[in-house]
Structure 1
Amino acid sequence: MSHLEEKTIKTEKIFSGKVISLQLEDVELPNGKTSKREVIKHPGAVAVFAITEDNKIVMVEQYRKALEKTIVEIPAGKLEKGEDPMECARRELEEETGYGCDEMDWLISFYTSPGFADEIVHLYIAKGLKIVEDAASPDEDEFVNLMEVSIEEALILLKEQKIYDAKTAYAVQYLQLQEALKK
């Protein structure tokens, strides 16, 4: 056991929903005292950084109720139980954009809010994009506008806080770094 580890003494399920669950945990701290932790459990998600032949980033504009506003994001979605992250990435790309791809590579995985949630996002890059005939549709409660933006346009969207989520900001900055390394 690490000298920083917190030992769970008791777990109480507070809420179980379609996407997340919330539990209250009593923990023993490294100094022997106890405390409570509110923990959100999430099945994980994928995000797809899709690049067109002319080096445009495929994005979607979507209303996010938690934020009470519309933001611009790279395609993303929740993992289904037991689903392979790369297959989920391919599915989400098709559902949200109508694109398939010749090449899908894992870039990185990261936790979104480790202070209170276990959600992990697996970020993939998709190249060799092609329109899929009879593509799968977005979920029935999902409405998106498809966009293709240059790196310069994406940087403006970041500055205007229209791109306002970590996965998309990471993808834009990744492309910006790759472009800088080519020079």
Structure 2
Amino acid sequence: MKQDLEEKTVSTRKIFEGKVIQVQVDEVRLPNGHLSKREIVKHPGAVAVIAVTDENKMVLVRQFRKPLEKTILEIPAGKLEYKENSVECAKRELEEETGYVAAKMEKIVSFYTSPGFADEEIHLYQATGLQKRESNPDDDEFVELVELTADECFKRVETGEICDAKTIVALYHWRNAVSDQK
């Protein structure tokens, strides 16, 4: 018989509300009846896009990430706007950050980034039929377009230049999809 593992929320106290996240502290009743506190980051969700060119290169962006205090390579991605459809967000983010427009956008998987403290869910899409146009990043977004082969990408994982979960998940999906076609 399965044990009841659910924690019941007794109270919620909002600590911070910003442009991207909200932070709250929940008091919860544990399955054994004791009380405990949970610090939770609320996030509206995001999309990420696997885009591979006709030359079989993955489209990435190089961007400085303040929480890491370094510049990293990532797949194009961005936050969902209020009530925005995830596929439309994926199309928008791909074009804004890279200048590429996709003829087709296919959902691959959705996953939670850090379920121990955050509810952020990323919807991973694969873009095909790419056409290059001009990029148009947000005013506070400074990115550099980079296109790399799979081998080059995995070398960047080894060096730590590619170090975020969504990009690493995307790389393994891309590699597996290519090997499944052989």
Shorter-chain TM-score category? over 0.9
Q: Give 2:155's aligned amino acid.
A: I
Aligned match of 2:121:
120
C-alpha separation in 1, matches of 2:181 and 2:129: 20
Q: Name the SS for the 2:101 alignment partner.
A: strand
Distance 1:182 1:53 in 2: 16
| Separation of aligned partners in 1, 2:20 and 2:65 | 15
- For the residues of structure 1 that align with 2:131 and 2:138, how far apart are their CA atoms? 21
Distance change (3 Å), C-alpha of 1:51 and 1:120: same
For the residues of structure 2 that align with 1:28 and 1:88, how far apart are their CA atoms? 37
Matched, 1:108 2:71: no
TM-score by length of 1: 0.96
Aligned to 2:21: 20
Partner of 2:140: 141
Task: Provide the TM-score with structure 2 as the length reference.
Answer: 0.96
Residue type of the alignment partner of 2:139: E
The separation in 2 between residues aligned to 1:103 and 1:11, in whole angstroms, is 42
Aligned counterparts, 1:24-43, within 5 A: 24-43=25-44
Distance (Å, rounded) in 2 between the aligned partners of 1:138 and 1:182: 34
- Equivalent residue of 1:109, what SS? strand
Q: CA deviation at 1:181?
A: 2.5
Distance 2:177 2:132 in 1: 26
Question: 1:152 aligns to what?
Answer: 151
Secondary structure of the equivalent of 2:96?
Answer: helix
Give the match for residue 5 of structure 2: 4
Identity of aligned residues (%): 56
Aligned to 1:174: 173
Residues 47-73 of structure 1 show CA distances to partners (whole Å, capped at 9, x for unaligned) of 000011121100000000000000000
In structure 2, C-alpha distance between the alignment counterparts of 1:116 and 1:78, rounded to whole Å = 18
In structure 2, relative to structure 1, the CA distance for the partners of 1:136 and 1:182 (3 Å cut) is: closer
Q: How does 1:65-76 map to 2 (within 5 A)?
A: 65-76=66-77
Report the CA distance between 1:136 and its aligned residue: 5.8
Q: Answer yes or no: is the 8 Å Cα contact 2:4–2:31 preserved in 1.
A: yes
Give me the whole-angstrom Cα distance separating, in 1, the residues matched to 2:175 and 2:113.
21
Structure 1: which 5+ residue stretches go unaligned? Answer: none
Counterparts of 1:42 and 1:182 in 2: how far apart (Å)? 36
Give the CA deviation at 1:182: 3.1
Considering only aligned residues, what root-mean-square deviation do their CA atoms show, in Å?
1.1
Q: Which letter does structure 2 place at the counterpart of 1:148?
A: E
User: What letter matches 2:44 in structure 1?
Assistant: P
Q: Distance in 2 between matches of 1:104 and 1:21?
A: 30
Unaligned runs of 5+ in 2: none
Deviation at 1:180, TM superposition (A): 2.4
